Amino acid sequence: MIVAVTLGSIGTAGIAGAGPVVLLAVMEMVGMPATTGSAAAAAFALVLGIDVILDMGRTLTNVCGDIVGTSIVAKTEGMLDISKWEITTDIKNHMANKESTGV
């Protein structure tokens, strides 16, 4: 069961809203079908109430990890143009003028 859940969670990490589907599959595997009126169905409903918020966090973590990984590979391969990420003199001057004027 642990292997099946681990593989399922890895496979669905990039899919928004896949958490409840994996939860239902695990509940079926352990013999707790979410039939109407059962305690398992009530517990599943409670999880669905907060899963949207948790899903946003999972998606954010997944996207940030993808960005960091891609950046590391691009930098090691010499494909990352650092000059596009550096603050230019024009931007520094603009930011200094905004701070001095208070706008």
Residue 12 pLDDT: 74
Reported pTM: 0.56
Helices 39-76 and 19-29, interaxial angle, to 10°?
120
Domain boundaries, the chain: 2-101
- Helix, strand, or coil here: 81? coil
pLDDT in tens, 18-58: 778 888 888 888 888 888 889 888 988 888 888 888 888 88
Q: Would you state the pLDDT for residue 79? A: 93
Q: Are 97 and 91 in contact (CB under 8 A)?
A: no
Report the pLDDT value the prediction gives residue 103, as an integer from 0 to 100: 60
For residue range 81-103, what is the model confidence (pLDDT) as tens digits? 888 877 777 778 888 888 877 66
**pLDDT tens by residue, 58-77:** 888 888 999 999 999 999 99
